[in-house]
Structure 1
Amino acid sequence: MCGIVGYTGSKNAIPLLVEGLHRLEYRGYDSAGVAVAGPDGIGVHKTAGRVADLRRVIPDGLSGAAGIAHTRWATHGEPSDRNAHPHLDPAGRFAIVHNGVLENSDALRKRLTADGADLASDTDSEVLAHLIARSGASTLADRVRDALSQVEGTYGVIAMDAENPGELVAARRGSPIVLGLGEREMLIASDTAALVRFTEKVIYLEDDELATVTAEGYHTSTMNDPGGTRSTTRPPTALEAGSIDYELGEHPDFMFKEMTEQPDAVDRCLRGRLDRRFMSARLDGVGLTPREYQQIRRVKLLGCGSAYYAGQLGAELIEQLARIPADAEPASEFRYRNPVVDPETLYVAISQSGETLDTLAAVHELKRKGGRVIGLVNVVSSSIARECGSGLFLHAGPEISVAATKSFTNMGVALALLALELGRVRDLSMADGRRLVDGLLAVPSQLTGILGTEAAIAEIARKYAGAEHMFFVGRVRGWPVAREGAQKLKEISYVHAEAYQASELKHGPLALINPEMPTVVVLPDDDLLAKNLSTIEEIKARGGPVIAVTDADLPPGVVTGVIRVPRAERELAPITLSVALQLFAYHLAKTLGREIDRPRNLAKSVTVE
């Protein structure tokens, strides 16, 4: 969360910094600011609000060859001008931007205040500028080392010094930092989205690594190496994503754009991964032999938010196809319960960005305890991908909207591939393997079919846009679909929605059913169809409207609204059903006039606890 950008070179830094912030705004949009080095020192311009608001407060003609910038997702201190980054020390010599949470900031603020410091904001980040200024080290790099040695928590930080404005220092622990290499210029960012228009070569900092950057190049070293005498500098890697992927084009917003990209995204995820000779999957990135697959006795899937619900979907698939125990758990809870790590369990860390702090921390805990963990991520060079060293790349393409759409769908497809591979090395028959291979190959066209029914889904969404509350229910494979559908509705429309297993309604929640509360029933055409129809009758008997999301042929009058999807193989139906619910949430939110891509209080790529 939070977007940070830095530039040093021969160009005017302001346009590059502001453009970088614009591309990172999905990481936080409570406030924004820039600091640029000029002849009279460091000038800071910042404001509560969006990057568009920042553009209006930057003076015309402002220029400088080096600067830093920030777009904020608030943790400590309300969104306001005074809490916006960058922050300065009292003398105005040092400026910093920071992504992360300093857990001991209260103690540091009290200590600084007792020493006479005048803190200008309510943020945890500001203490870094004061600590850097109070360091007696001779270089900015060592001043940053001194400051960061006193903090506890996470950081991705850039610092600059008015007395040596062409040099920037960046460091990371838990929050990503990427260096971009140019021709006699260097850039720094918290995400490659800010860099794709300006460079094709990048360096990813590792945890507890620090970089000194000038227009001429960079030098990296570890945090515990005063003077940086033991270089960790390594060759740059190619930046694969093209800038076109970050452009809105003719679409009304990024969520709509990304939903329409799903057929192509699934096709990319499947390409080269289906083996028609053995009617199985070919997952070279996982790096396991058939014998090693057979030795797996359990699968544990870890993720947060939509990634967790995708993990639930995957766990159900793995149990069905491979007949081994599988379950999903929120990564945010996993490491805090002192988990028993089993060497015969395969752990799967799921994250769109590959930078989700809770999931990355779970990976660290697993590796520390000797667990076998693979990553399932959408950014091939991300922290989770590098830490795991093996896994499945989602190939969804950049996802800008805060609400996960194509990344969730590709998570489901990738987990279906893993389940198919696990099943075929065990007892899943060749005939079932063929059925599922054919079923996976059909998914892109099925998604195209769903997107073609957008107008009908929008009509149903508009009909129920006045509801203040909704239930989403499903059984077994429909349950994670219901959870993801409820989350989509909550996060972009602000309509209160709760998901329940359909069988649990009668154990309490049925008391809330009334004519003003619609229930969305996830209704795959499987062996539980009759039981799900019984649940619908229970809801209707109490006056509740029912919207069915289904690939089944329902008798007339069974429900008050139907969202139909093409029939898929029963194990893969959750993927197609989920896409229909994305469209439902999207059009309900549009009817209510919500800002789709940047829902209030949220941000993408959650790099703080």
Structure 2
Amino acid sequence: MCGIVGYVGSQQAAPLLLEGLTRLEHRGYDSAGIGVLSGSGLKVAKRAGRVRDLAAALPARFAGRVGIGHTRWATHGPPTDANAHPQVDAAGRVAVVHNGIIDNAAALRRRLSDEGVQLASDTDTEVIAHLVARSVAATLEERVAAALALVEGTYGLAIVHADFPDRIVVARNGSPLLIGVGDKEMYVASDLAALVRYTTTVAHLQDGEMATVTAAGFTTYRQDLTATVTPAEELDIDPGAYDVGEHASFMHKEMLEQPDSAEHVLRGRLDDRFGTAHLGGLGLDARETREVRRVKVLGCGSAYYVGEMGASLIEELARVPADAEAASEFRYRNPVIDPDTLYVAVSQSGETADTLLAVQEIRRKGGRVVGLVNVVGSAIARECDGGIYLHAGPEVAVASTKALTNMFLGFALLALQLGRVRDLSIADGHRLIAGLRALPAQIGEVLKREEELRPLAERLAAAESLFFVGRVRGYPVAREGAQKFKEISYRHAEAYPTSELKHGPLALVSPAVPTVAIVPDDELVERNVGALHEIAARGGPLVVVTHAGVDLGEVAERPDVHRIDVPASERELDPILLTIPLQLLAYQAAVHLGHDVDKPRNLAKSVTVE
């Protein structure tokens, strides 16, 4: 969601801050601002709108070698210049940028107002600037710690003070924050994307930790100012992975990277000798794996829908009960945590607040939880008992494509390992391994049909509302397809089990409401084809995502019925191949409508607040 950057060194801060903010635009935001320290004090510039609007409005003389910047995704108050960050105190000496939510902000605002402070914004963040400014402690570190002692909520914070012009003080509680190490210069960011052009040596702050960052280095400590040890590490990341290159958008680039990223997640994890998977990161031996009696998958948005695909895979191959649940709802229903259940948390960023809180609830109650995450060192990865890294590489576009595909493959590996310690035969293990090895090339085959699908996507873009339907393995595919279409094309798209059409949705089927139907060549193909005839009989246009051998009957002759064939895989693995054309349709529809596919309105890549 919101993005933080900071710089301390010998260069002018403003250009570096603007560059960093531009690289954080994918996180979602509605205003931007920077603040720099110089010999003349603190200077702040901020604007509602895009980073380019801020850059255009920046004064010609905006010098300073210490600074912080922010892109804001509005929570408290609308996106206005006044509500943009940095937030400052009344004297203009303290500037604060903040990701997260201060839960007791209303009470703190009342307290400050009662003490005569004139609040200039609607934000929760402003209270921190005033609390730091009103502290009489000797050091900036003590002033920030005293302010945070009064604060309840989540935060990633970067704070500068005109009286301490050589440093930035940062703090983390529930919202990610990184420190980048350069040559006699240092960086701060909420996302590695803001740093990789300058350094890939980073330190990850832990929850409850603070740090002082100067040009000479950084020190870390707890809120009581007792020292901690947080080493910096060199990350094996190609900075070019964060550049869009020759592609029109990051989403387009990331879709086309799926064959390669799929190979990466499978590499070294397939065991031909025993027909199983090697997942040493789970921390489960064969005996512990056999003791698992149930699997519960937790995720949000697309991670939730691919979690449904994964739960189905696990139940089918391992024959243990498995289901998926929205992590955002999980802990609020006071769930029963079963010691025989393996909980699986799914998140591309590894920082999704709802999923992280669910993980913490499980661990608090003694449950075992493993993670499927894409970002090494992320909060969820650190909190879990073990996990499977997705190795998808950086994913910048808000709409997940290659990370989602690798999540599915991670679940396939998990299901294979769980199944082989139970009743899944070695022959079935070998069959699935062959299917997994074939998937990257098959994904590539589907992606080559991009231009062929463009006219169909443009027809769907003309509709104000669409249905996506599928059964059993196909239903989570339909849910993910509807998610992709609505989040980047802004068309209303709703998913239903095909079997539920007669129980309500059929009332809305008409020539104005197309249906995208998932019809794999499986044991339910006849029932699925029957449902297509019901839709066609009501005049509903159809897009059928299916396999080459499926006979759609006379419905295939209708001019408003369009067919997309995907390569056939093993039946258990079909869902991911059926998903790929839905990504292409959503992308082409959004492009046709003139939308920014990488930064859909009101959405963010990494949702770090509840």
TM-score tier after normalising by the smaller chain length? over 0.9
Q: Verify: 1:249 aligned to 2:217, yes or no.
A: no
Q: Which runs of 5+ in 1 are unaligned?
A: none
- 1:389 Cα shift? 4.4
TM-score (norm 2): 0.98
Provide the residue aligned with 1:589 in structure 2. 590
Distance 2:117 2:575 in 1: 57
Q: Verify: 1:565 aligned to 2:566, yes or no.
A: yes
Matching of residues 250-269 of structure 1 within 5 Å:
250-269=246-265
Matching of residues 523-602 of structure 1 within 5 Å:
523-553=519-549, 554-555=551-552, 557-559=554-556, 560-602=561-603
- 1:403 Cα shift? 0.4
Provide the residue aligned with 1:90 in structure 2. 90
Q: Verify: 1:453 aligned to 2:449, yes or no.
A: yes
Matching of residues 437-452 of structure 1 within 5 Å:
437-452=433-448
Kept after mapping to 1: 8 A contact 2:450/2:584 = yes
Distance 1:182 1:381 in 2: 20
Distance 2:68 2:571 in 1: 52
Q: Verify: 1:146 aligned to 2:143, yes or no.
A: no
> Percent of pairs identical after alignment?
60
Provide the residue aligned with 1:163 in structure 2. 163
Provide the residue aligned with 1:345 in structure 2. 341
Kept after mapping to 1: 8 A contact 2:461/2:489 = no
Provide the residue aligned with 1:51 in structure 2. 51
- 1:556 Cα shift? 6.0
Matching of residues 144-293 of structure 1 within 5 Å:
144-223=144-223, 225=224, 228=225, 230-293=226-289
Instruction: Determine helix, strand or coil for the equivalent of 2:121.
Output: coil
1:301-337 residue CA offsets vs partner (Å, 9 max, x unmatched):
0000000001100000000000000000011111111
Q: 1:314 aligns with which of 307, 310, 313?
A: 310
Q: What is the identity, as a one-letter code, of the residue corresponding to 1:526?
A: D
Provide the residue aligned with 1:608 in structure 2. 609
Kept after mapping to 2: 8 A contact 1:490/1:496 = yes
Distance 1:239 1:431 in 2: 39
Instruction: Determine helix, strand or coil for the equivalent of 2:70.
Output: strand
- 1:124 Cα shift? 1.0
- 1:59 Cα shift? 2.1
- 1:218 Cα shift? 1.1
Provide the residue aligned with 2:64 in structure 1. 64
Instruction: Determine helix, strand or coil for the equivalent of 1:207.
Output: coil
Distance 2:234 2:323 in 1: 36
Distance 1:10 1:173 in 2: 30
Kept after mapping to 2: 8 A contact 1:481/1:577 = yes
Distance 2:33 2:100 in 1: 17
Distance 2:82 2:92 in 1: 15
1:253-277 residue CA offsets vs partner (Å, 9 max, x unmatched):
0100000000000000000000000
Instruction: Determine helix, strand or coil for the equivalent of 2:157.
Output: strand
Kept after mapping to 2: 8 A contact 1:524/1:552 = no
Distance 2:141 2:371 in 1: 33
Kept after mapping to 2: 8 A contact 1:196/1:239 = no
Distance 2:554 2:46 in 1: 57
- 1:61 Cα shift? 4.5
Q: 1:435 aligns with which of 431, 438, 462?
A: 431
Kept after mapping to 1: 8 A contact 2:41/2:162 = yes
Instruction: Determine helix, strand or coil for the equivalent of 2:210.
Output: strand
- 1:146 Cα shift? 1.3
Kept after mapping to 2: 8 A contact 1:29/1:51 = no
Provide the residue aligned with 1:388 in structure 2. 384
Q: What is the identity, as a one-letter code, of the residue corresponding to 2:582?
A: L
1:329-365 residue CA offsets vs partner (Å, 9 max, x unmatched):
0111111111111111111110000000011111111
Provide the residue aligned with 2:497 in structure 1. 501
Kept after mapping to 2: 8 A contact 1:176/1:355 = yes
Distance 1:449 1:556 in 2: 26
Q: Verify: 1:132 aligned to 2:132, yes or no.
A: yes
Instruction: Determine helix, strand or coil for the equivalent of 1:413.
Output: helix
Q: Verify: 1:486 aligned to 2:487, yes or no.
A: no
1:552-580 residue CA offsets vs partner (Å, 9 max, x unmatched):
43346524011221111111110011111
Q: What is the identity, as a one-letter code, of the residue corresponding to 1:593?
A: G
Distance 1:422 1:412 in 2: 15
Q: What is the identity, as a one-letter code, of the residue corresponding to 2:48?
A: A
1:131-170 residue CA offsets vs partner (Å, 9 max, x unmatched):
1111222111111111111121100000011011111100
1:7-58 residue CA offsets vs partner (Å, 9 max, x unmatched):
1111111121111111111112201110001222110011111111111112
Q: Which deviates the most, 75-84 or 314-323?
A: 75-84
Q: What is the identity, as a one-letter code, of the residue corresponding to 1:496?
A: H
Kept after mapping to 2: 8 A contact 1:176/1:205 = yes
Q: What is the identity, as a one-letter code, of the residue corresponding to 1:519?
A: T
Q: What is the identity, as a one-letter code, of the residue corresponding to 1:17?
A: L
Instruction: Determine helix, strand or coil for the equivalent of 1:37.
Output: strand
Q: Provide the alpha-carbon RMSD of the alignment.
A: 1.0
Q: Which deviates the most, 555-564 or 231-240?
A: 555-564
Q: Verify: 1:361 aligned to 2:357, yes or no.
A: yes
Distance 2:145 2:28 in 1: 27
- 1:116 Cα shift? 1.2
Q: Verify: 1:326 aligned to 2:322, yes or no.
A: yes
Kept after mapping to 2: 8 A contact 1:522/1:548 = yes
Provide the residue aligned with 2:109 in structure 1. 109
Provide the residue aligned with 1:422 in structure 2. 418
Kept after mapping to 1: 8 A contact 2:5/2:17 = yes
Kept after mapping to 1: 8 A contact 2:88/2:129 = yes
Could you list the structure 1 runs, at least 4 aligned residues long, displaced by more than 4 angstroms after superposition. none
Distance 2:30 2:472 in 1: 39
Q: What is the identity, as a one-letter code, of the residue corresponding to 1:537?
A: H
Distance change (3 Å), C-alpha of 1:131 and 1:30 = same
- 1:464 Cα shift? 2.3
Q: What is the identity, as a one-letter code, of the residue corresponding to 1:258?
A: E
Kept after mapping to 1: 8 A contact 2:337/2:366 = yes
Distance 1:552 1:570 in 2: 14
Q: What is the identity, as a one-letter code, of the residue corresponding to 1:41?
A: G
Distance 2:236 2:375 in 1: 10
Kept after mapping to 1: 8 A contact 2:478/2:495 = yes
Distance 2:547 2:37 in 1: 60
- 1:463 Cα shift? 2.0
1:206-254 residue CA offsets vs partner (Å, 9 max, x unmatched):
111110111111111111x1xx2x3102321112222100001110001
Q: Which runs of 5+ in 2 are unaligned?
A: none
- 1:100 Cα shift? 0.3
Distance 1:484 1:381 in 2: 27
Provide the residue aligned with 2:512 in structure 1. 516
Instruction: Determine helix, strand or coil for the equivalent of 1:476.
Output: coil
- 1:524 Cα shift? 0.9
Q: Which deviates the most, 557-566 or 400-409?
A: 557-566
Provide the residue aligned with 2:7 in structure 1. 7
Provide the residue aligned with 1:295 in structure 2. 291
Q: Verify: 1:467 aligned to 2:463, yes or no.
A: yes
Distance 2:501 2:145 in 1: 55
Q: What is the identity, as a one-letter code, of the residue corresponding to 2:333?
A: R
Kept after mapping to 2: 8 A contact 1:8/1:166 = yes
Q: What is the identity, as a one-letter code, of the residue corresponding to 2:191?
A: D
Q: What is the identity, as a one-letter code, of the residue corresponding to 1:18?
A: L
Distance 2:482 2:98 in 1: 33
